[in-house]
Amino acid sequence: MSRQVFINGELVPQTEAKISVFDHGVLYGDGVFEGLRIYGGKVFRLEEHITRLFESAKAIWLNIPIAYDAMCRAVNDTVRANGLSEGYVRLIVTRGVGTLSLDADICKNPQVIIIADTIALYPSELYETGLEIVTASTVRNHPAALSPRIKSLNYLNNILAKIEGMKAGCIEVLMLNHKGEVAECSGDNLFLVKRGELFTPPIDAGILAGVTRNAVIELARAARIAVHEIPLTRHDVYVADECFLTGTAAEVIAVVKIDCRLIGTGKPGPMTRDLERRFKELTTNC
């Protein structure tokens, strides 16, 4: 099915959705993006995503040529134009056309691109059985070099870790930070359950402040589950009672084995199932 793609104020057929090969987003990964989920024809936590997009852009000195409210409308218009009840939105802002130079000042026309389509990150059966993951040797970007809180177009750090996982027969991997602490996975945030309490790495561990992560923390606290955002190590993962991942595309999915070690019983645990259920209820009523 041909999709309608939003580019700089216009909806065009996907076959006509083009940008210049001299765009610095193509040449250097110079730009920012957001992934958003559609439930029941509505975009989940749209404002939270758009706020993070504008913050990412501000952090890299990129002026988005569309105002905040207009950006929200453009996302909703793109979803409606594609008739999607359930799906995924990729919102991209590039630096724009320049030359073969690192000079960002020569780029005067940032490109705003919105793609709406269907998505299935993991096979449906893995939501029943859980994931097996491995620890990648590729560490998360040092936050003093490139802040992981900036959702930039340069995802090579994550891609290299993902490749390691695929070579090992796993479709997701655990990434450590420069201190050797648990950071996140190549595309998802990580949670552990121990003695009925929830643990997840803090923002200063070098992670993206995930929108789904935030939603699950809110759901857990509303259910009177203690949530601890503290530094974690691989040892904490190995001895956890449960482990699960969260992400816009992944939603909530259990991890049952890491580095050939079973987590808990080797099956999705009760708290994971409970929070997965609560998240589905939340998205159904979004």
Please name the residues in contact with 186: beta carbons below 8 A apart, sequence gap of 6 or more: 136, 158, 159, 161, 162, 165, 172, 173, 175
pLDDT of 90 > 80? The answer is yes
Amino acid letter, 71: M
Domain boundaries, the chain: 4-117, 126-284
pLDDT of 116 > 90? The answer is yes
Q: Are 179 and 218 in contact (CB under 8 A)?
A: no
pLDDT of 120 > 90? The answer is no
**DSSP label at residue 131:** E
Amino acid letter, 236: D
Local confidence band at 9 (pLDDT 50, 70, 90 cut-offs): very high
Tokens read off for 248: 């816009």
pTM value is 0.95
Amino acid letter, 144: A
Average pLDDT over residues 18-41: 97
Q: Are 182 and 190 in contact (CB under 8 A)?
A: yes
CA-angle at 140, arms to 62 and 126, nearest 5°: 105
Local confidence band at 202 (pLDDT 50, 70, 90 cut-offs): very high
CATH 3.20.10.10 for domain 126-284: yes
Average pLDDT over residues 234-240: 98
Determine how β-strand 197-200 pairs with β-strand 42-43: unpaired
4-117, which class in CATH? alpha beta
* Residues annotated catalytic, as ranges: 151
pLDDT of 227 > 90? The answer is yes
pLDDT of 1 > 80? The answer is no
Its sign, for the CA torsion 37, 41, 45, 50, is: positive
pLDDT of 238 > 80? The answer is yes
* pLDDT tens digits for range 175-197: 999 999 999 999 999 999 999 99
CA distances from 285 to 43, 47, 57, 240 (A): 11, 16, 30, 32
* pLDDT tens digits for range 30-84: 999 999 999 999 999 999 999 999 999 999 999 999 999 999 999 999 999 999 9
Kindly state the percentage of the chain with pLDDT values over 90.
Answer: 97
Q: Are 3 and 117 in contact (CB under 8 A)?
A: yes
Euclidean distance between CA atoms 283 and 248, whole angstroms: 11
Euclidean distance between CA atoms 269 and 59, whole angstroms: 39
pLDDT at res. 210: 97
Count of Cβ atoms closer than 10 Å to residue 133 Cβ: 26
DSSP characters over 222-256? HTT--EEE----HHHHHT-SEEEEEETTTEEEEEE
Euclidean distance between CA atoms 68 and 6, whole angstroms: 16
| 3-state SS class at 174 | strand
Euclidean distance between CA atoms 145 and 285, whole angstroms: 40
Q: Compute the mean pLDDT over every residue in the chain, rounded to the nearest whole number.
A: 96
Amino acid letter, 234: R
126-284 shares the fold of 4-117 = no
pLDDT of 256 > 90? The answer is yes
